[in-house]
Amino acid sequence: MFIEPNFKGEKKGWIEVICGSMFSGKTEELIRRLKRVNIANQKSKIFKPVIDTRYHESKIVSHDTNFIQSTPVENAKKILELSNDVDVVGIDEAQFFDESITEVCETLALRGIRVIVAGLDMDYKGVPFGQMPNLLAVADYITKLHAICMKCGNIANVSYRKTANESQVLLGEKDIYEPRCRHCAQS
């Protein structure tokens, strides 16, 4: 469980990364943390890549249909432009952002902003996905979530693709992906 640090009134920024496979609850956890920010009357801005239109064009929506309003952006640098006068920045689907996402998150943290990032740590082949390895390397706090394997019931860390499409980026839901453990992903 993540425990928010107490800096005795000093405004210090940090980076939290929530990672795992599809269906592990990453977006659900991001939404939960951001709703607590709103309850605390902190100013926040929430972003997602413009490419992610699976559930809604401007909302971040979990597989359980919980949602929170966000701003779709075409690139990571836009997040810096739109994050003035905030306490917290939330970012979903970080694996889809360009290579500047890590620098953007570090810049925000150095400005005293709490940055909460969620994303897939691996693609469907089990290869580190996009800039997530770099974000994990600079994160102050990391939460790795797991799904349940659809074949055997063990913890799942692989987003198994059920189609033959070999493109690294293929937006989809349960029709295309299912969570599997490392052993069942090989069979």
Active site residues: 93
Q: Of 115, 112, 88, 111, whose CA–CA distance to 102 is shortest?
A: 115
- Which among 78, 81, 25, 22 is positioned nearest to 50, based on CA atoms? 78
Helix, strand, coil percent content, the chain, rounded in steps of 5: 25, 30, 50
* C-alpha closest to that of 162 among 183, 179, 139, 142: 179
For 8, other C-beta atoms within 10 Å of its C-beta total 4
Nearest Cα neighbor of 20 from 172, 143, 174 is 143
Beta bridge partners of 37: none
Number of H helices, E strands in the chain: 5, 12
